[in-house]
């Protein structure tokens, strides 16, 4: 069943959202938009519902899910304790793209947390997500609504392409916005640790709570990540994707090298550089003047390369600060850490 509901007004009541809530209460799984990416929701207190999520995505069961709530008050029924720094961050960034890891309370399905003693919680900022979560009034486990390994969905059609026939429905709220998953922040220790960079930047978090650490695995690919999901290959398009660090003419020379080998070559660039290159396919992803636009279009652009029958995709690289941190984290994973430097 495909529940379609574009053009949402926060103050209206929608039969589609009621329908989706009913399915969730019955233990079914339904996809819905959030401000980051589409999520695949299921009742976080039900083993059967959580099983359905893992099954639909083909997700390894040792990779825990984020629990979504519609009211801040629900937090105390999920976690044992909210440290001062976490409280400040919640005050500042919820609803929004910040997921907080805290010590978990009994009551959730053990499968949500993959047996860990901690739980990831977030309150999304999308009006459809909030309306749905409030209507259900249950903690909802929701990973990104893609097949495991594919780029996360930023449009309902991405969800349908990946999961049609495997889930009970999708609420279509149009394009998601941020376009990359939430920042995952471990708040169980004295100093908060970023396990996954995302919509809320390190700089923004530091403004609220002072020093923040970054999981070493994000910096050094040989380290084992603390967030189980970060060890898996992700987001990869069908063609061989490589990131090119250096000048535009260096990238153009690389294009020609591969073309001489008889390969069909695509380029991932931005608006300002698109006319510079000559390749088989050129796709633009936002503007460098505002990296938020790159983040919001990245996954759709990666997915759309799959329609082009390419052998190689060469991507420009992006600065590592602000939201660039999250962009480069996802792009590097999509490229399997293959970077060509001038
Ligand atoms: O933006 C988002 O966060 C989206 C939308 C739907 O809300 N959700 C999302 O969920 O990206 P998922 O399941 O694809 O990613 C959850 C990440 C994984 O890397 C997982 O390993 C990590 O959070 N995680 C979950 N619980 C954890 C825990 N207790 N400790 C450490 N990492 C955890
Ligand atoms: Mg995911």
Largest Cα separation within the chain, whole Å, is 61
Ligand 1 touching residue 148 (CB < 6 A): no
Question: What is the whole-number distance in angstroms between the Cα of residue 263 and the centre of ligand 1?
Answer: 37
CA distances from 122 to 86, 282, 299, 324 (A): 12, 36, 22, 22
pLDDT of residue 149: 87
pTM of the shown model: 0.94
Residue 8 predicted with pLDDT over 80? no
Pocket test for ligand 1, best of 29, 99, 153, 217 (most atoms within 8 A of CB): 99
Is 9's pLDDT higher than 90? Answer: no
240-270 pLDDT, tens digit each: 999 999 999 999 999 999 999 999 999 999 9
Is residue 233 scored above 70 in pLDDT?
no
Q: What is the mean pLDDT of the chain?
A: 93
The whole-number average pLDDT for the span 207-226 is: 83
Q: Is the pLDDT of residue 341 over 80?
A: yes
Give the rounded percent of residues in the chain with a pLDDT score beyond 90: 85
177 CB within 6 A, ligand 1: no
218-234: average pLDDT: 69
pLDDT of res. 107: 94
Ligand 1 site-directed mutation target among 64, 79, 104, most atoms within 8 Å of CB? 64
Which range in 60-64, 76-80, 230-234 is most confidently predicted, on average pLDDT?
Answer: 76-80
Strand partners, 119: 102
Q: Whose CA is nearest to atom 31 of ligand 1?
A: 227
Question: Could you report the per-residue pLDDT of 10-51, keeping only the tens digit for each?
Answer: 556 778 899 999 999 999 999 999 999 999 999 999 999 999
- Collect residues with CB below 5 Å from ion ligand 2: 144
Q: Flag whether pLDDT at 222 surpasses 70.
A: no
Give 125-149 pLDDT, tens digit per residue. Answer: 999 999 999 999 999 999 999 999 8
Query: Does any ligand 1 atom lie closer than 6 A to the CB of residue 120?
Result: yes
Mean per-residue pLDDT for 196-212? 96
Q: Which of 94, 228, 235, 296 to mutate to test the pocket of ligand 1 (most atoms within 8 A of CB)?
A: 228
Three-state DSSP class for residue 50: helix
pLDDT for res 1: 59
- Of all protein residues, the one whose alpha carbon is nearest to atom 3 of ligand 1 is 182
% the chain with pLDDT above 70 = 93
Per-residue pLDDT, 218: 78
User: Is the Cα dihedral 201, 206, 208, 209 positive or negative?
Assistant: positive
Instruction: Please report which ligand is nearest the Cα atom of 150.
Output: 2
**CB under 8 A, 24+ apart: contacts of 77-81:** 77/105, 77/107, 77/139, 78/102, 78/104, 78/105, 78/107, 78/108, 78/119, 78/121, 78/139, 79/103, 79/104, 79/105, 79/119, 79/121, 80/104, 80/105
Burial group, residue 308, by CB count within 10 angstroms (0-12, 13-18, 19+): middle
Among 64-68, 241-245, 334-338, where is mean pLDDT lowest? 334-338
Which of 126, 113, 106 is closest to 36 using CA atoms? 126
Say if ligand 1 is within 6 A of residue 99 CB: yes
Q: Which residues contact 66 (CB under 8 A, 6 or more apart)?
A: 39, 99, 120, 121, 122, 141, 142, 143, 182, 184
Evaluate: CB of 40 within 6 angstroms of ligand 1.
Answer: no
């Amino acid at each position: 069943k495909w529940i379609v509901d574009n053009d949402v007004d926060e103050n209206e009541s929608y039969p589609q959202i009621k329908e989706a809530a009913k399915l969730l209460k019955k233990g079914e799984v339904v996809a819905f938009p959030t401000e980051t990416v589409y999520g695949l929701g299921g009742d976080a207190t039900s083993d059967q519902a959580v099983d359905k999520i893992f099954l639909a995505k083909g997700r390894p069961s040792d990779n825990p899910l984020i629990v979504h709530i519609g009211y801040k008050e629900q937090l105390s029924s999920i976690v044992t304790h909210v440290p001062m720094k976490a409280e400040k961050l919640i005050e500042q960034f919820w609803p929004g793209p910040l997921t907080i890891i805290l010590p978990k309370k009994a009551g959730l399905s053990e499968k949500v947390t993959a047996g860990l003693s901690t739980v990831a919680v977030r309150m999304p900022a999308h009006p459809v997500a909030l309306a749905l979560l409030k209507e259900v009034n249950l903690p909802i486990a929701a990973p990104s609504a893609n097949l495991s390994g594919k780029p996360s969905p930023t449009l309902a059609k991405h969800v349908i392409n990946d999961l049609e026939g495997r889930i009970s429905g999708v609420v279509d709220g149009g394009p998601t916005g941020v376009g990359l998953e939430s920042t995952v922040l471990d708040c169980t220790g004295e100093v908060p640790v970023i396990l996954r960079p995302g919509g809320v930047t390190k700089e923004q978090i530091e403004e609220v709570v002072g020093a923040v650490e970054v999981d070493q695995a994000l910096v050094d690919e040989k380290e084992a990540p603390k967030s189980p999901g970060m060890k898996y290959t992700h987001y990869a398009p069908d063609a061989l994707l490589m990131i090119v660090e250096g000048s535009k003419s260096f990238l153009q020379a690389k294009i020609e090298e591969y073309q001489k080998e008889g390969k069909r070559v695509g380029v991932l660039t931005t608006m300002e550089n698109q006319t510079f290159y000559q390749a088989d396919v050129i796709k633009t992803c936002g503007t460098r003047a505002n990296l938020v636009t790159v983040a919001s279009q990245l996954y759709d652009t990666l997915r759309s390369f799959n329609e082009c029958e390419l052998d190689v995709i060469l991507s420009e690289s992006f600065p590592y600060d602000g939201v660039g941190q999250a962009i480069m984290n996802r792009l590097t994973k999509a490229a399997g850490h293959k970077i060509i430097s001038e």
